[in-house]
Chains A and B, each alone.
Chain A
Amino acid sequence: MRSAALLAWGRPILTLVLVAIAAIASKWLWIYYEVDPWTRDGRVRVDVANVAPDVSGLVTEVDVVDNMPVHKGQPLFIIDRPRYAFALRQVEGALQQATAGVQQAEAGVQVQTPSCSRPAGRTFAIASSAVLCRRKQSNRGLRASLNSRPPSPRPKPP
């Protein structure tokens, strides 16, 4: 009984499933043979992409061949690596020089503006700052003593 019912419903279902697959297949066939473009004697005449580098120089290495598929970010060719490496080294040297100049200038600034309690990094800085401090303090003391005196003709600076 149950198998009879299965057959009664199964027959149309199986047939219709096949027909549905055939419908999808026929649509694909229509697109494949009628909609998609095709040509009997087509020629691709111009298929050249111009590429331009950001910097100038001799191309020392080409990493691609004709009709090779490439991806975004892939190096196509290398421009004059030794010369640019040399330029980089030169610039780095200049940077080092400039940094040294800055350090030197900072040391000079330390020498120029000492504070008596501040521990300086270098012996000559300590010595000179101590000297300067003393001189400044003596100046301050002199000025204070001048101010405390009754008004008088302005004293000559030392």
Chain B
Amino acid sequence: MIAEINVFGVFFSGALATACLAGIALLVVRRLLFRVGFYRLVWHRHLVDLALFIILWAAAAMVTPALAETIGRMW
């Protein structure tokens, strides 16, 4: 788990960072789903958006440690 992220001496929570990543990913995913027409098949758009955001957040939290380790090894 990445607990904190050092941005020029200011420590931010790792959860915040992964949430930001998830938000950016959600923008992309939403645009794709709009194009595909997925939102016509759902009940409450914003509920689905929220669910997608949480799923992406968890995915980002799962992926970032391995990603950071890989990047750290490359450095």
User: Are A and B a genuine interacting pair, yes or no?
Assistant: yes
B58 touches A25 (CB 8 A): yes
**Chain A: interface residue count, which band?**
20 to 34
A22 touches B50 (CB 8 A): yes
**Does A45 count as interface, using CB distance less than 8 angstroms?**
no
For residue B22, give the distance in angstroms from its CB to the closest CB of chain A.
Answer: 10
Q: Which residues of A contact B3 (CB under 8 A)?
A: 38-40
**Does B10 count as interface, using CB distance less than 8 angstroms?**
no
Choose, from A8-16, A73-81, A90-98, A119-127, the stretch at the interface: A8-16
Q: Which residues of A contact B61 (CB under 8 A)?
A: 29, 32-33
B41 touches A25 (CB 8 A): no
**A25 with B42, Cβ < 8 A, contacts A32-B1, A32-B61 known:** no
**Chain B: interface residue count, which band?**
20 to 34
Give a binary string over A28-66; 1 marks a CB under 8 Å from any B CB, 0 the rest. 110011001011100000000000000000000000000
B4 touches A18 (CB 8 A): no
**Does B55 count as interface, using CB distance less than 8 angstroms?**
yes
A32 to B55, CA, bound (A): 14
Give a binary string over B21-61; 1 marks a CB under 8 Å from any A CB, 0 the rest. 00000000000000000000111100110111011011101
Q: Which residues of A contact B52 (CB under 8 A)?
A: 18, 22
Q: Which residue of B has the minimal Cβ distance to A11?
A: B43
A14 touches B42 (CB 8 A): yes
- 14 A–B contact pairs at CB < 8 A? A7-B41, A10-B41, A11-B41, A11-B42, A12-B43, A14-B41, A14-B42, A18-B42, A18-B48, A19-B47, A19-B48, A26-B54, A28-B58, A29-B57
Which 3 A-B residue pairings sit nearest by Cβ, starting from the closest?
A22-B51, A25-B58, A15-B43
- A interface vs B, CB < 8 Å? 7, 10-12, 14-16, 18-19, 21-22, 25-26, 28-29, 32-33, 36, 38-40
